[in-house]
Structure 1
Amino acid sequence: MISHIDHIVLTCVDPVATQQFYTQVLQLQQETFGNGRIAFCFGQQKINLHVRGSEFEPHAHLPAPGALDLCFIASEPLTQVIAHVQHCGWPIIDGPVERTGATGKIRSIYLRDPDLNLIEIAEPLSDNSLSDNSLSDSAR
């Protein structure tokens, strides 16, 4: 019955800080649609932005900044993602660590967006893949 996720809605406090994080740190494409609404696009999905207190109807029963835990699969090696995040000056709070994703094993790092949502960025691992111990301690 369900094929895939089309979009999710992220409620934020500071739309400017949120736009900077999602477009600069995560490198998602910003789109304006409807009556000035903002979305961050990647692949065939998007994240629609709501500002707390000005949510579009209908909306979640209890829209709250900082309540999301999202995992993105990177389009490039995780070492390049780590270098980019560090170049942006954004703190990595955990990782790289191995986890189990929707389609198998993944290697992930974790950060928080400006509203403290937990953001996981991962790369798929093959079943025969070993842990990458070559990453610097500063990337962990």
Structure 2
Amino acid sequence: MLSGLDHLVITVTDISRAVDFYSRVLGLEVRYRDRERVDLMLGDLALRLHWTATDIEPRAATPTPGSLDLCLRSLLPLEEVQRHLEALDVEVELGPVPRQGANGPIESLYLRDPDGNLLEISRAMKPGSE
């Protein structure tokens, strides 16, 4: 019946600050929809930023900044991601650590966006490295 995810809404307190973080730190392409909505492209998936005080309807019953826990797959080895984050003075909260992903073992780094959302950056583990 379903084939995938089209977009995921991230509620933020400051769209400009969130756009800076997701584009500069994570390298996502920015597509402006209007003053209160911005799409951050991740392949064919949009991470859609909504401002907390938006009048857009319908929306989640309690849209709350900092309540998201999102795992993103990395094209780069996590050591390279970690060096990139260090160069930008972005704190890694945990990792790299082994975890279980949707399709098997992964290795993950954890960080937070400016609103406190937990972002897990993961990469599939090589067989035998669990």
Spell out the pairing of 1:1-140 with structure 2 (5 A cutoff): 1-33=1-33, 35-36=34-35, 37-130=37-130
Q: TM-score, normalised by structure 2?
A: 0.94
Q: What's the offset of the Cα at 1:19?
A: 0.8
Query: What is the root-mean-square deviation of aligned Cα atoms in Å?
Result: 1.2
Q: Identify unmatched segments of 5+ residues in structure 2.
A: none
3-state DSSP of counterpart to 1:75: coil
With over 3 angstroms needed to count, the CA separation of the structure-2 counterparts of 1:67 and 1:55, relative to structure 1, is farther
Distance 1:76 1:129 in 2: 17
- State the one-letter code of the partner of 1:5: L
Q: What's the offset of the Cα at 1:127?
A: 3.0
Distance 1:55 1:85 in 2: 34
Distance 1:91 1:109 in 2: 10
Post-superposition Cα deviations, 1:23-76, rounded to whole Å, max 9, x if no partner, equal: 01111110123x443110011101111111115211111100000000000011
**Aligned residues, how many?**
129
Q: Identify unmatched segments of 5+ residues in structure 1.
A: 131-140
The ranges of structure 1 where at least 4 consecutive aligned residues each deviate by more than 3 angstroms after the TM superposition are none
Distance 2:105 2:93 in 1: 20
Q: Please state which structure has a larger fraction of its residues in strand.
A: 2
Distance 1:56 1:77 in 2: 38
- State the one-letter code of the partner of 1:87: A
Q: TM-score, normalised by structure 1?
A: 0.87
Distance 1:26 1:32 in 2: 17
- State the one-letter code of the partner of 2:106: I
